[in-house]
Structure 1
Amino acid sequence: MTRSLTAAALALALAGAAPALAQTPAAPSLAERIAHTDPGKYRTSSSVHGGAGSMDFGSLLGTDALDTNFIFLHRGVIHPGGGIGAHFHNDCEEMFVILDGEAQFTIDGRTSVLKGPAGAPTQAGHSHGIYNPTGKPVQWLNINVGMTKVYDAFDLGDPRVGAPLDPIPNFMTLRLDRALLRPVERMKGGQGTVQHRRALGPSVFRTAWSYVDHLLVPPGASVGRDVQTDMSEVYYVMGGEGTVTLNRQTAAIRAGDAVPVRLGEAKAFATTGSAPLEMMVIGVAKDLDAKRAFIQATAPRRR
């Protein structure tokens, strides 16, 4: 009797579990994972972190995009006379990037004008802000990586309007200048010659954020299949059209798209249009130990 009851109970339990198992959602396809810039979905915000004026922006990728401590990638527009007030992040690092025009960037109370495409990384424990004093909207990106997946901020109530300007930035900057790129033949086993530069290296950041690369893939060229088990990446398409192959799936990409690549995923890129496929690459290591190993593996050898 006991065995019969046990068997019956097990059968009922399995029968009850079957619908739940059947309803488990399928993993999103590659096309579904790629984020697309859509200004129609931006939201308007005023006095962001106590800043001046207003800006429109939305989230391209959030905390679930990668399995590392990548927190978000935002895309938006800073209107004339608008900006983001000075504020601290103590457990995460952030970088504002402008894709065109110019803006006043502030790090730790020192302000300089940067002309796009350019940006300024801000290490954890330091303050930053941005202001658009021009009469034209500025296309803007914001990247945030933390010690954990938790975002933090402390506002200073300083909009940075009318701040004194240093002619030379007193802080680290990112330059996405094509003239600084260097040729790489058959990158990762791909076709043709691409242009590449490590714009920011691992020493810039204190979190597991490891690099920002600038990559230009001319028409007819490609970047071959590559796998990094301890490094996740985001590829933001600055211009052009192409394809990304992730594991066994291929999808089209174009300017304004963001492609998340998780740990251990194989990726490859190719240009399909008549213009070069231009991308900014954000690399975030699995953890600080993995970042240290990456630094050792990529450090130039002394002769």
Structure 2
Amino acid sequence: MKTGFGMVAIAALLVAASPAASQTLQERIGRHDPAKLRELEGVHGGAGSMRFAGLLGPDALSTNLIFVHRGEILPKSSIGQHFHNQSEEMFVILDGEAQFTIDGRTSTIKGPAAVPDRMGHSHAIYNATDKPLQWLNINVGMTKRYDNFDLGDTREGAALDRVPQFISMRFDRALLKPVKAMDGGQGEVGYRRALDPTIFATTWSYVDHLLIPAGASVGSAAKAGMSEMLYVIGGTGEVEVAGEKAMIRAGDAIPVDIGQSRAIRQTGTAPLELMVVGVAKDQAAKAAYAAAQSRGR
């Protein structure tokens, strides 16, 4: 079914994606299911259509993570240019390439990659290719309330800058650094802090890229005043959150709330690849975390 996109559609997805506190870890994990994607036209005044669904909603964490969405932007389709004045987002492309726009400047970014949009700045994304674009969106606010202001700009035919005039990052395994016994885990993993606390204006604190090879693991640990969202880019594994275990696979979004320890173990034959998003409980906790990180360098 095709339908228009607006605040009502977002609200419906947020409710649908919000797990109850009484649910088990298995039930709280948001799992990507292509069969459950909804098709929407004119997203934020964009061209064409896209298919998407909520993985996590505002009740997934006690911090101000508002949602994690997963879907496909269809060929020659876009999410139109719009503002968030009380929240910030990050569009992620898991394969292919897309034309990203920040504040009216557009560049082609090849995936897997991500472009954060700071609060109070405009952004958009356009799929100029002939195949569906695998897409992920993360939104963190000053509160749990979602906001948007659409410009009615599809970004079709936008002039392209050769060098992006905005912040972007790639999930490039070649950039990962080896870490032995991470958090007391087994073996050696690949790790990179892709985006640090200075990138974001909200309590969004970091984006990490993590690769756990066969037979390796990350030990049990918790960060003071910090929640996390783990997104499985590829592979399979097991996660333990606050003593509760669950199997995870590509397309899963795992919430880890403040005060909860988490451990991660790779299973199967392929490496377990994850994106880790940290959201602090408040600005004071974010500042304390950033200061501790600086002292540890």
Give the TM-score taking structure 1 as reference length.
0.90
Query: For 1:71 and 1:299, how far apart are their aligned partners in 2?
Result: 28
Is residue 2:122 matched to residue 1:127?
A: yes
Name the counterpart of 1:76.
71
Select 2:57's aligned residue among 53, 57, 62. 62
Residue-by-residue CA offset, 1:162-206 (whole Å, 9 max, x unaligned): 000000100000211111100000000000000000010000000
Residue identity in the other structure for 1:201:
D
Name the counterpart of 1:50.
45
Query: For 1:45 and 1:174, how far apart are their aligned partners in 2?
Result: 28
Name the counterpart of 2:81.
86
Unaligned runs of 5+ in 2: 1-19
After TM superposition, give the deviation of residue 260 of structure 1 in Å.
0.2
Mapping 1:191-270, distance limit 5 Å: 191-270=186-265
Name the counterpart of 1:287.
282
| 3-state SS in 1 of match to 2:43 | coil
| 3-state SS in 1 of match to 2:51 | strand
| 3-state SS in 1 of match to 2:45 | coil
Residue-by-residue CA offset, 1:63-118 (whole Å, 9 max, x unaligned): 00000011000000001001100000000001111000000000000000000001
Name the counterpart of 1:12.
none
Residue identity in the other structure for 2:200:
F
| 3-state SS in 1 of match to 2:75 | coil
Name the counterpart of 1:34.
29
Select 2:146's aligned residue among 131, 142, 151. 151
After TM superposition, give the deviation of residue 228 of structure 1 in Å.
2.0
Q: Which runs of 4+ in 1 moved over 6 A?
A: none
Name the counterpart of 1:115.
110
Query: For 1:175 and 1:291, how far apart are their aligned partners in 2?
Result: 24
Query: For 2:243 and 2:292, how far apart are their aligned partners in 1?
Result: 28
Is residue 2:266 matched to residue 1:271?
A: yes
| 3-state SS in 1 of match to 2:287 | helix
Query: For 2:241 and 2:152, how far apart are their aligned partners in 1?
Result: 44
Residue-by-residue CA offset, 1:135-180 (whole Å, 9 max, x unaligned): 1111000000000000000000100000000001000002111111
Select 1:185's aligned residue among 180, 188, 191. 180
Residue identity in the other structure for 2:217:
S
The range that moved more, 26-35 or 72-81, is: 26-35
After TM superposition, give the deviation of residue 300 of structure 1 in Å.
5.3
Larger radius of gyration: 1
Query: For 1:45 and 1:287, how far apart are their aligned partners in 2?
Result: 34
8 Å contact 1:232–1:261 — kept in the other structure? yes
| 3-state SS in 1 of match to 2:186 | coil
Query: For 1:129 and 1:248, how far apart are their aligned partners in 2?
Result: 40
After TM superposition, give the deviation of residue 229 of structure 1 in Å.
3.3
RMSD: 1.1
Aligned length: 278
Name the counterpart of 1:299.
294
Query: For 1:301 and 1:249, how far apart are their aligned partners in 2?
Result: 30
Is residue 2:155 matched to residue 1:160?
A: yes
Query: For 1:30 and 1:149, how far apart are their aligned partners in 2?
Result: 22
Query: For 1:119 and 1:266, how far apart are their aligned partners in 2?
Result: 27
8 Å contact 1:243–1:271 — kept in the other structure? yes
8 Å contact 1:229–1:265 — kept in the other structure? no
